[in-house]
Every structure is written in structure tokens, then in C-alpha cells.
Amino acid sequence: MPIESRRDVFQAIADPTRRQIIELIAGKEMNLNTITENFNISRPAISQHIKILNECGIIEIEQIGRERYCKIQPKNLKIAADWIQQYSVLWEQKIDSFEKYLNKLQTKNKKR
């Protein structure tokens, strides 16, 4: 499997450093070195995270002179949000009704 196709939003936000980067630039766009100052890892490491976030469409990069400003592009972040949100029915007050729904399904197939 090519490396490109393995990269999706879910994998992108799986890494805690990348989530921190998202949190950091959500409030204010930043260039790469400024982002790096907020972490204890090397600039190339941050650069690689930025590349991944960019390839997944989570951040946009605007080059100004020699600086690259990163800002959030939420389109693809929404994909992950939508997937999880499917299950919001499970943790909201609708839990009771979901259990009824489950039971109904389970009595159809008389398993267990």
C-alpha cells in the first residue's frame, strides 16, 4: 500500500504532537519556526508533522517570502468529526432508546 493512501485524517490526529499543533494554530496562524518553539522536538520533526497535516488537508500553508504560515483548514477535520458524531446517539440522553433499538435487533435474531 503506498504511503500516501494510508494517510487519512484519523491517522493524522492519532499523534498527540499533531493534535497539539492543531490546537496551537487554531487560534492564530503561525510559521514553522514559531510552532517549533512550542515543542521539545527538532524543527525537521515539526516540518514532517506539518507535511502530514497538510497532505491530509487539515492545514493550509501560505508561503510568504521564506516563511510558511500554517493555518487550519477544517474541511477534512469535519470528516473525522462526522464519523464520530454518528455515535453521539450512544452517549447522549438517547442511550435508553438506543438500548431498546439494540434489543429489538437482538430479538429478531434469537442469538445468545
Partner DNA sequence: AATTTGCGTAAGTAAATGCTTACCCATACT
Partner DNA sequence: AGTATGGGTAAGCATTTACTTACGCAAATT
> Which parts of 16-75 interact with a second copy (CB under 8 A)?
16, 19, 22, 26-29, 31, 64, 67, 69, 71-72, 74-75
| CA–CA–CA angle 30, 36, 42 (5° rounding) | 150
Say which DSSP state 91 is in: H
- Which of 42, 48, 83, 97 touches a second copy by CB under 8 A? 83
68 interface partner picked from DNA, a second copy, none, CB below 5 to 8 A per type: DNA
C-alpha dihedral, 22 to 24 to 30 to 36, nearest 10°: -100
Query: According to the binding rule CB under 7 A, does residue 66 interact with DNA?
Result: yes
Query: According to the binding rule CB under 8 A, does residue 91 interact with a second copy?
Result: yes
